[in-house]
Structure 1
């Protein structure tokens, strides 16, 4: 004999279970966010500590001091480092958007022999660390007289397999009828790409820009290997030299970390909606 709950009671139990699951999920997400934000909070609070702060003396500042930010800005020549990092990050982002759009369109729309093999080769580059290629890349840069120039910081990462795959997937999610209509109206392939497809690919382009800009802003390897001129110092090089010089001055070091992190955090907050949309749409078609 089976016992069945009344309809209103069964619905109440179901609603309670659903709300309880959502509450538990929300609590779990809040705990995860707290774990992620806790180190950032420690860095921020430490940066406001006075100059005589000793690590382990307490997290909350006895009095809020801003002199660490002034000393960090002046001591590491952050203005030049910010300018160089911005120039390099924008240059690499522009190159990757250009190369990814052209290659992604070709792999998504053009039918030619070896297209799938070329796509697999592009994806295979994602598993090769850049450090493995550093010697041949350095030799090519030396042959082209590009060592100790901005070209050494921009050209080695001017194309990226992730960006090509991202644009290819996003273009495949756009109805091909839009392209066919433009071709019937007399548009060329380049006009279709620049005037029809790329405006529709804005979420993917913003996503690629954010990934590339943040990655280049945080890159230490290329400036450390390919440049030695102090005029080409980047933010990460400034932080590295700062840490070696002021290892025990934690408020000063944390203030420098906050200054270096603030631009990319603001950039992500501005473009986060397009970023989420670009990531969510990139896998619609295989």
Structure 2
């Protein structure tokens, strides 16, 4: 009994050490970025006098206000489209019986292995044909639907007992009412997970604004950071302050939704 207890304590200690090491690998670079952003000289992470003036200077020189507005609009629009389309398609593929359903599921899975870069030329041509280049549409429409979201919500819907839908239908609800009043409230963890994945992905996206837009008034946070880096390569405090400014919104968003996010990841695909 004592040997078993000692072995269990040793395994717990080992797990704790491994988790602590993993956390250090993630947090130490972030801490270094933050410390350098507070440095008046930027020689290293050793700060002799902390100052937040770098943030004010980076915000002013980088003109981040417009970039924040653009990134927020694009991220919210894309996230909204993806949540709606993924919920509708995911529910249809999880519950409705129709000819070709398995083929559609395989097609959705196939889109997950195709890099977005391979689709750039046809997407560019379609946007050009539709006169959407250098518009918000060029930043929103190419990722308005996503196979990952459809598959995620389909798997989550399949974990919900079908008896709940049958009970709602016995009370007079139709399919549309079942989806909006029963399934979606129960799928909130998966919806929050998809929201976070999509919003953070769009916020961090540099590829679309770089390829599909050239107008300065359409630049996003990531494009503004890239331009800022070119201008202030030698000024590490300003550069790190700009990085913190560009990263802070998604960090706060993740912290706000992390409980639902972890629940959605843990329960997706587990049949009740």
Which TM class, normalised by the smaller chain length? Answer: over 0.9
Of residues 91, 95, 98 in structure 1, which corresponds to 2:81? 95
Q: How does 1:16-165 map to 2 (within 5 A)?
A: 16-50=6-40, 52-54=41-43, 58-165=44-151
1:53 aligns to what SS in structure 2?
A: coil
Q: Which runs of 5+ in 2 are unaligned?
A: none
- The corresponding residue for 1:201 is 187
Taking the aligned partners of 1:195 and 1:204, their CA distance within structure 2 comes to 16
Count of aligned positions:
272
TM-score by length of 1: 0.93
Structure 1 runs of 4+ aligned residues shifted over 6 Å read none
Q: How does 1:126-275 map to 2 (within 5 A)?
A: 126-275=112-261
1:143-177 Cα offsets, whole Å, 9 max, x none, are: 11111111111110011111001100111111101
Task: Indicate the RMSD between aligned Cα atoms, in angstroms.
Answer: 1.1
TM-score by length of 2: 0.98
Taking the aligned partners of 2:3 and 2:237, their CA distance within structure 1 comes to 54
- How far 1:123 sits from its partner (Å)? 0.6
Structure of greater Rg: 1
Contact 1:169 1:285 (C-alpha < 8 Å) held by counterparts: no
2:33 aligns to what SS in structure 1?
A: helix
1:103-145 Cα offsets, whole Å, 9 max, x none, are: 0001000111111111011011011111110111011111111
Q: Which runs of 5+ in 1 are unaligned?
A: 1-10
- How far 1:185 sits from its partner (Å)? 2.2
Contact 2:158 2:269 (C-alpha < 8 Å) held by counterparts: no
